[in-house]
Amino acid sequence: MLILGIETSCDETSAAVVRDGWEVLNCVISSSQKDFTAMGGVIPEDAARKQLESILPVIELALKKANIGHNDIDSIAVTYGPGLLGSLLVGTSTARVLARIWNKPLLAVHHTLGHLSSTWLKEMKSEKRIVKNDTVSIANDEPHFPVLTLSVSGGHTDLWYRNAHTNGVLAGTTRDDAAGEAFDKGAVLLGLPYPGGPALAKLAESGDETTFDFPNPLQHEKNPDFSFSGLKTSLKYLLRDLGPKAEDQKTRVDIAASFQFAICRHLGSRITMALEMYPETKELHIVGGVSANLRLRALATDIGKRADVTVRWPSVLSYCTDNAAMIAAAAYFEQTEKTERKPAFQTQATASLQELIAATNTAA
């Protein structure tokens, strides 16, 4: 089954052609992110205007690079939420029109379900890396459920325990900021450019992460929820207390490394707790923008070794952050696993995946 995926939930305009939920024939991602560097964040109306200009050329390019015509695709999948409403509407309106004129079925996909599907994606010419104990091998792409997935981005931080691609329970979630938001806010405090996560990770590269001690939140809680707002406040006070010394380059890299470690350690402690709660887990996945973080990957690899579970993250960097290939993949799994699921297609800025899964399970 060949699916054309469309994703426009934030500042990106992306279209991809994916076969059977795994093989990416092509994925085009056009982002207006650099236009917002000077503003320190996305301006929703500006992002939507840029997406309106780029959506058709991006779709055309994805089809052309995949070397197929629109007659070859079986269906069109589009993100219906959550995200910026204007941006989402550009994608959903375009998808509706194309589905009508090309006479193709239209599939609505939850953005988070897209991220949860991103670890299976494989570029036609590259192989997926998985890490099992000390060996790095080529995955045979067979999913081994149950899978515990840390979905960690600028908008959400969730732990999903799934027995199938499109079914499972939300084991833990953030009570305040998302992990990516913590990276972004920390970067602002350190005077780094938007988007802050990659910039802070870069600054942290040569730092000593043991220099400054940040709190490890929610250690006495019995469920694997997250909280990041305290870490951000601690960083603010640390910078205030250090005064001019915080401007010193060596101190800056050590602060960045220690702050990054605190975020990753907190994520790691929640993963460990969830693995104890769900001992049948066969694979640990990390997905979403923050899964690009190398410190987090190293920590997840250690946890995977200790728990004897396979660890995966998206095979290429562009599948960590928002992209249309993951939307096409999720749509495929929705079709193959839940043929009865017909979510009401309404573009929604605040769509809950937990409610969607619960509603489907009740109906089934």
Residue ranges binding ligand KG4 (CB under 6 A): 10, 153-155, 180, 183-184, 195-198, 201, 288-290, 292-293, 321-322
DSSP string, 317-356: GGGTSS-SHHHHHHHHHHHHH-TT--------SS--HHHH
Q: If contact means CB under 5 to 8 A according to the sort of partner, which of Zn ion, ligand KG4, none does residue 224 touch?
A: none
Choices 39-47, 177-185, 218-226, 314-322; region in contact with Zn ion by CB under 5 A: 314-322
| Identity of the residue, 207 or 289, whose beta carbon is nearer to ligand KG4 in the bound complex | 289
As a whole number of angstroms, the distance between CA 173 and CA 163 comes to 18
Torsion of CA 349, 355, 356, 360, to 10 degrees: -160
Would you count residue 153 as binding Zn ion (CB under 5 A)? yes
| Identity of the residue, 150 or 273, whose beta carbon is nearer to Zn ion in the bound complex | 150
As a whole number of angstroms, the distance between CA 130 and CA 107 comes to 30
Q: If contact means CB under 5 to 8 A according to the sort of partner, which of ligand KG4, Zn ion, none does residue 91 touch?
A: none
As a whole number of angstroms, the distance between CA 286 and CA 36 comes to 27
- In contact, 48 and 87? CB cutoff 8 Å: yes
| Identity of the residue, 197 or 217, whose beta carbon is nearer to ligand KG4 in the bound complex | 197
Q: Which residues partner with 6 through β-bridges?
A: 15, 78
| Identity of the residue, 153 or 174, whose beta carbon is nearer to ligand KG4 in the bound complex | 153
As a whole number of angstroms, the distance between CA 106 and CA 249 comes to 52
Q: If contact means CB under 5 to 8 A according to the sort of partner, which of ligand KG4, Zn ion, none does residue 184 touch?
A: ligand KG4
Q: If contact means CB under 5 to 8 A according to the sort of partner, which of ligand KG4, Zn ion, none does residue 347 touch?
A: none
Q: If contact means CB under 5 to 8 A according to the sort of partner, which of ligand KG4, Zn ion, none does residue 290 touch?
A: ligand KG4
| Identity of the residue, 99 or 296, whose beta carbon is nearer to ligand KG4 in the bound complex | 296
- In contact, 122 and 315? CB cutoff 8 Å: yes
Which residues here bind Zn ion, judged by CB under 5 A? 153, 322
